[in-house]
Structure 1
Amino acid sequence: MSTPTPPYEPLTYERQVQYANHEQGSKKQRRRRGGAGIIVGAGVVALIAGAAGGAVGYTAAKSQAPGLTIASSTAASTSVAAAGSIAAVAAAVQPAVVQLNVGNGEAGGTGSGFVISDDGYIVTNNHVTGAGGEIEVTFSDGKTATGKLVGANPGYDIAVVKVDRTGLATVPLGESAALLVGDTVIAVGSPLGLQGTVTTGIVSALNRPVTAGGEGETAFINAIQTDAAINPGNSGGPLVNGAGAVIGVNSAIASMATGAGQPGSIGLGFAIPIDVVKRITNELIKTGTSKTPIVGVQLNMTFEGPGAKVAEVTAGGPAAAAGLRVDDIVTKVNGSLITDPTSMIVTVRSFAPGDTVELTVTRDGEAFTVPVTLEASKAKE
């Protein structure tokens, strides 16, 4: 008896900053493996994140992406965008969106970012700046400046870059907590090095657990899912609402697991909620580092759920103080359903150190709730 063909190919979510050394794709990205790297539908979807990342080579991004033929038009436009339209939002946001070319010798990568203060602070993804080397920032008017890395938190995939300029256009920061599934959203960035590209869609889902693994540390994101087209090079760029306020930082896309070629948009993009980004960026700007909240347990990452199973309780930590034990299963955090270990990690990371959350726990078949005050991780993020 033959096995029927599955209705879809497995999906992968891959952090993919591509480096160029005169040839696109000359340096392949290593995939980080382990229990934490598998999220949605274990065994069906593998996680690749940050494919929105600086995924076009530095050389290509400074001109035009390889394989693209772009015809120019000399027709002048006198159209005026209607107030409240996508065109009006794009016109307001684009001046604050930048392209980041990050290079180290002949190798480099391209990503996006956005200006949050008129004196030059720029938010982007850690996986955009993580390659190291010189950071060249290109503004919407074509002017460039050298950027300096202020700080980064790989666990959240957030970085802040500073340029020595004043009077810059900025974009307002909104509230991701106010989002509803179905809300209109707009992505702006430099996919394939095409600076100032605007795409639009809706919020497809909220609180989607996504892990982003690459050559560096795995990031855990309680993501906003959108069908707005997000492609390599969009990473670090803003996802804005209909009022033109940033509600997320584009970070990852899902891609069919064909194993060949550069992934592109299939309508499954993921952004880091701005409410989390604001806390991280404020800490990075003030201190150069940021804090990650912890419960004080190690989870069994092979446990398939439902829930997250405790493998170890850290002595003296918040969980120990709350009376958690090995083999306890956490099923909810502040009422949010926990389906697997990854969903618990991303849910906890949506809070801040010092916050008190209520855990719903199952022990020996009996359910109970317990308050836990989150601490800051002492480990390097």
Structure 2
Amino acid sequence: MVTVVQLAEHAPAVSVPLPDATGRALAASRIVDAAPDPYRTGCWTLRAGSKVGAVSLAVPGGDPVTVRITPKVPIARLFFLIGYSVDPHGWREGQVEVGDHRELLPALAHAVERQVDRALRQGLLQGYRAVEDSALVVRGRIREAEQIRRRFGAALPVEIAYDEFTTDIAENRILRAAVERLLRLPGVPRDVRRRLLHQRARLADISPLVRGQELPAWHATRLNARYQQALHLARVVLDGSSPEHTAGGLSIEGFLFNMNKLFEDFVTVALREVFRATDRTCRLQDPHHLDEAGEIRMKPDLVLYGPEGTPQAVADAKYKAEKSGGYPDGDLYQMLAYCTALGLREGHLVYAKGNAPHAAHRVRHAGIVIHQLALDLDRGPADLLGEIRSLAWQMAPGATV
């Protein structure tokens, strides 16, 4: 019997009857905060943080447990954040269909299947793939070094390399991997699973990817335009997969989004897009050092450079204020370090809107002002991007288009 635990992102902890082995496995996985319930024997308190999605855990000798964590952000808004982060130029509102699903994994599976179906309606994309082979006839070019190393001067077989025109290309391999990944995840609705099986059949002749290896590279072109939205979503599926392992007999299978990372990606990409048409340059995760010896590394989420190449603004994205009374003080200390090392008079902390209001703090004896601003993720895409533009002009009021 499968135990299903339903949690909400950053909601209060709930008490759930669980075997000790399963509770310890959940605690070790760090998917949620898990601890024995001091008031109920045989129960564990579970609290979700910023990871959302669904995972299934199987412990030897125990019943499997499925944990589903729903985001606070509406599903449609979540997919806007995802879509804009991975492809700000190709994103269009309403392009990704999530159906009537209110949970993340069913909505994602539905969206991926619809995009894959749209990509494959005109047939599988073909392209050239580099092939290295041994053959009895020459095709393409002879790999002379390999011929000498492997054949010791023999004429046949011949070590050759050539470009093959085939459907077994990176784009199709990525789509197949995403479809197969979704088929293994818990919580995919039956009708969506049936459609995913149909898509896998269409991709049956494509070579599967080897787990653990990097995804094959592809480049956006006019020829693969109909694939691009599906490929972006496929990458989300493959990047967001939870670890699959059997260490100590524990098996974990699932899909999780880190909302902290997603919010950071959206804020920095959206700011970069605003400044793209100006005389300023944005660098994301820009490496610097706090000390003169270069031993203390730091990476602000975004550093804005002026036309002359010197830092002019710095910003860090923080998904959630951890205190009910306001923003965490540790964020202020971190931003103060960024401003000091970069020689800036102002720094900007960008939060997802919570309980705390906008604030600005002038640091004593330093003259540095740290701004704390909040984006309202409940607003529509156009309004949300408008807030990003307002923030951008506050960071660089003198930027010219």
Query: Shorter-chain TM-score category?
Result: under 0.3
Higher helix fraction: Structure 1 or Structure 2?
Answer: 2
Which has the higher Rg, Structure 1 or Structure 2? 2
Higher strand fraction: Structure 1 or Structure 2?
Answer: 1
Higher relative contact order (CA 8 A, sep 6+): 1
* Alignment TM-score, normalising by the size of structure 2: 0.25
